[in-house]
Every structure is written in structure tokens, then in C-alpha cells.
Amino acid sequence: MADIEVDYCVVGAGFAGLTAALRLKQAGQSVALVEARDRIGGRTSTEVREDGSWIDRGGAWIGPGQDRIYALMDEFGVKSYKQYTDGEAMMVVDGKQYRYKGTIPLTMSPWAAANLGAVFVELGEMCKTIPLDAPWEAKKAAKWDSISLAKWLGDNTLSTPAHDLLETAIAGCYTSAASEVSMLFVLYQMASGGGPSFVLGVKDAAEDARPVGGMGAVYRPMAAEIGDALHLSQPVRDIAQDGDGVTVRSADLAVRARRAIVAVPLAIASQIVYEPLLPMDRSFLHQRMPSGAVMKIAVLYDEPFWRAAGLSGQSAAPDSPATITIDASTDTGRPGVLCVIVEGPIARKLGTLQEGERRKAVLAELTARFGNKAASPVDYIEQNWSIERYSGGGMLSHAPTGVLTQFGRALRKPCGRVHWAGTESSAVMCGWVDGAIRSGERAAREVTERDGVLSPARAQ
């Protein structure tokens, strides 16, 4: 049993935990960063290939308003490049392909397009009424938290194609069925990113750009600066706190610190044993914010051949084994990468297939959508977040009905010497990497302020 004594112990080396540890170290504090996996990055994971290109197996995109990840990239000299958005996107509804530009496929029936547009406007207006710091205090919080996204969409989207597209797109953000997610949570999460156009858009929105080198180009230098304070392959089993400090234990590591910052998804935080028990509402919150199902598949070609055909690579097809595609090529465009994202119920269904069957189904869809060249990729890389032990699923923990109004107040509130980070605890950009970074900086400020030590210099 190794014993380490530090000022602060951070649990989880995703972006939230890495940021908290980094900011604390920069403020002159000693830290231990304890990670269950044998790698850093959490719900991001960048694979660097032999040719120097990279695949982001998890979170990958950044956009305007995400100032804290841009600041971090500046700090480490990581450049960004714009998402490829030239050419047309594609919707596939009932087997029929509709090409379009912008966020709303106006080439669909006027009725469907008008319906989609109206729902966007309505969602935007609803988002404006949500206080980001306290969504449970929104005027209609009780009403919206009593219904699921499925119910709201059913009542407000009368065109079937518009309904199905919106359901795929919005529920997909929570990697869940629309019936699983509280409408209040949807509005809160959308509002935390600036509204529906940001969440569901690409250009000038949530998928506007990417770090050159992928997310790994950002998290690797962070880890380098944290140095040997990082302890991999140490799943934390229990956190005990007393009047003087906390003891964080894995099977073969015990860290004693003034305070702990737990920076993992809610469902993972629930698997840690806390001594004494956490306050009731935090324990209950841990039981109530599940992760969803998501599979991300990178299909590699010598070049992004779809571009020559006037296609952006972006497509959406509800209920298809390639529900969403997006051009995920590097800044050089070599290789050409089509990223297939499958979420919620279809991801669960697809996850039960044999790998060969799944590949066949996905490539058939891509071929129907992008032509014969799609049938012969040079590589095919799958990442099924649903079966990652230390994610518990993907992408962000969502709140079912009733949870935000009843337990939302516990999201950020420290429990004695145990503090909380993770993108779900961020009022701004909740669910994105940027939100994770914000939560790490907030938690670092929180612990140093409580202890009366200097606030981390770079955490404004």
C-alpha cells in the first residue's frame, strides 16, 4: 500500500480532472491525479496513427463561445482548423435523400421544413428563459421537468419527417431515447451552449473546428506538465473524509489530501464508496443521472472523395446504422475520414451485432449515401463507449424528468471536503469539453478559496 500526501487529490484524468490538477499545480499546490484507466482523456481519446494523422475516438469538436478550451490551446500552442463544411449536407428520410445547405433542410417538403424551423425558434425562445446557474428556477421548470423530450416533440412537431429528424438530432445529443430525457434538461443543456442553433449546428456552432492533432494534442501537454502526479490504472474504490482531510484509495494506492475533487461522470461517481455517506441529495443524484449509449466509427479513405461530389460528408438518417456522418479528416485532408456517430437505442442495437455484421451494415449505408467508393475504406475503427467500464456510457450524463428540479442543486455543491467537477457540473457549455475545462478551473478555485490559499493564477 503506497501512501502519498499532497495538498489536493483529483479523481479522474479526463479534461475536467486534468484541468483541475494543472491549475492547482500552477498555483503551487501539490496534487495527485488518480485515474482508473491506463490512459488519460476520459471521454476524449485520440489515436495517433503511423502516418502522423489522428482519430478522435471521443469528443473532438470545438466552437465559438468555448473560450476556455481555446485558452488552453493557446497556452500549449495548439492550433485549430475549421470543420470542412463546403458542399451539401444530406438528410435521408424514408430512403429518400435530400441535399441541403445550412442547419435546416429546406429541400424537404415545405411543411416539414417550416415545422423544423418553427421548432427551432420555439426551442430558442424556451432556452432564453432558463437561468443557467439554476435551471430549476426557470418559470416553467416544473412543467418542463414533468415531461420528456419525446412528449414535447410529439406535441410540437406534427410533420413526421421533421419529428423523426429532430428526435434523432436532439435525443442523439444525450445518446438516449427521447423518452429518457427531461425536457427541462434538454433546454438547460442547449441554453448552456447558447441555444439550439449552436447545439445542432456545425459551422459557427458546436462542430465549427478541431484542434490540430486532435484532443490529444491538448491533453498530452497538460499531462506532461502534471508529470508524476498522475497515477494511471488506479480505479478509486473509496473516499473517506474527516475534519482534517480526505483519504482516497484504490486497490494499491492511498492518497491523503486536504480535499478531493471528483471529476468523473455521475454514474461512475456513484460506484465510489464515500465515508461518511454523502449528503442525501448528492447520493440520490448519483443514482439519477445516467450515461447513454454511443458508438463512434472512423471510416478511413485515401482522400475525402465525397468533397469532389459536392458533399460535405455531413448526413443524418434516423434509424440507420449510420445515423449521423460528418467529415472528420485531419487539416491536411489525408486520409479522408468519415466519422459515423450512432447514438441511443440504435447504438445499443448495433452494439449487440458481431463486429463483421456491424461493419457490413455501416458500409452499406455509407455506400448508398456517398457512392461505391465508400464501400472500400482503407481502415475502419470502432469505439463503443457504451461498454467502457470507466465511462459507464457516453457522452454526457443526462437528467431524466424530475431530477433537475429535485436534485439539481446538488450538482456543484461541495460535500464537505469532496468537491465535484466534470462537464455535467458546468453551467456554461455543459456536456462539451469546454464545460469540462470550466468545471476543472472552477473546482480548483473552489478548493483553494476554501483553504485560503492563493487562487490558481490562470483560472479566471
Contact residues: its own copies, CB under 8 A: 142, 145-148, 150-151, 154, 176-182, 237, 267, 270-271, 273, 277, 280-281, 283-284, 287-288, 290-291, 293, 345, 348, 351-352, 386-387, 389, 392-393, 400-403, 405-406
- Of the pair 14, 377, the CB lying nearest its own copies is at 14
Buried b (16+ CB within 10 A) or exposed e, 77-113: ebebeebbbebbbbbbbeeeebebeebbbbbbeeebb
Is residue 118 within 8 A of residue 247, CB to CB? The reply is: no
Q: Which three cell numbers stand for residue 328?
A: 472528420
How far apart are the C-alpha atoms of 197 and 207, rounded to whole Å? 11
Least separation in angstroms between CB 341 and its own copies? 17
Least separation in angstroms between CB 335 and its own copies? 30
Q: Which three cell numbers stand for residue 108?
A: 424537404
Q: Compute φ and ψ for 430, nearest 5 degrees.
A: -60, 120
Ranges of H-type helices in 299-354: 344-351
How far apart are the C-alpha atoms of 114 and 119, rounded to whole Å? 9
DSSP E strand boundaries for 270-394? 273-275, 294-301, 311-316, 324-327, 336-343, 379-384
How far apart are the C-alpha atoms of 404 and 193, rounded to whole Å? 17
Known binding residue 169? Answer is no
Is residue 314 within 8 A of residue 85, CB to CB? The reply is: yes
Least separation in angstroms between CB 269 and its own copies? 11
Least separation in angstroms between CB 126 and its own copies? 17
How far apart are the C-alpha atoms of 280 and 66, rounded to whole Å? 33
166: closest CA among 112, 124, 96, 217?
112
Q: Which three cell numbers stand for residue 187?
A: 433546454
- Of the pair 336, 431, the CB lying nearest its own copies is at 431
Least separation in angstroms between CB 394 and its own copies? 11
Least separation in angstroms between CB 317 and its own copies? 21
Least separation in angstroms between CB 421 and its own copies? 20
H/E element, 435: helix 433-450
Known binding residue 134? Answer is no
Q: Give the list of residues 6+ apart from residue 328 with CB closer than 8 angstroms, or none.
A: 55, 56, 60, 298, 337, 338, 339
How far apart are the C-alpha atoms of 320 and 350, rounded to whole Å? 10
- Of the pair 70, 385, the CB lying nearest its own copies is at 385
Known binding residue 36? Answer is yes
How far apart are the C-alpha atoms of 140 and 204, rounded to whole Å? 30
Q: Which three cell numbers stand for residue 436?
A: 469540462
Collapsing DSSP to helix, strand or coil, 253 comes out as strand
- Of the pair 287, 460, the CB lying nearest its own copies is at 287
- Of the pair 329, 397, the CB lying nearest its own copies is at 397
Least separation in angstroms between CB 286 and its own copies? 8
Least separation in angstroms between CB 374 and its own copies? 28
Known binding residue 35? Answer is yes
- Of the pair 176, 234, the CB lying nearest its own copies is at 176
- Of the pair 149, 430, the CB lying nearest its own copies is at 149
- Of the pair 158, 309, the CB lying nearest its own copies is at 158
The DSSP output letter for 199 is H
- Of the pair 18, 171, the CB lying nearest its own copies is at 171
68: closest CA among 237, 254, 222?
222
H/E element, 191: helix 183-192
Least separation in angstroms between CB 183 and its own copies? 10
151: closest CA among 131, 121, 171?
171
Q: How many residues does the chain have?
A: 460
Neighbour count for residue 147 (Cβ, 10 Å):
16
- Of the pair 204, 382, the CB lying nearest its own copies is at 382
Annotated binding site for FAD: 35-36, 236, 424
Annotated binding site: 35-36, 236, 424
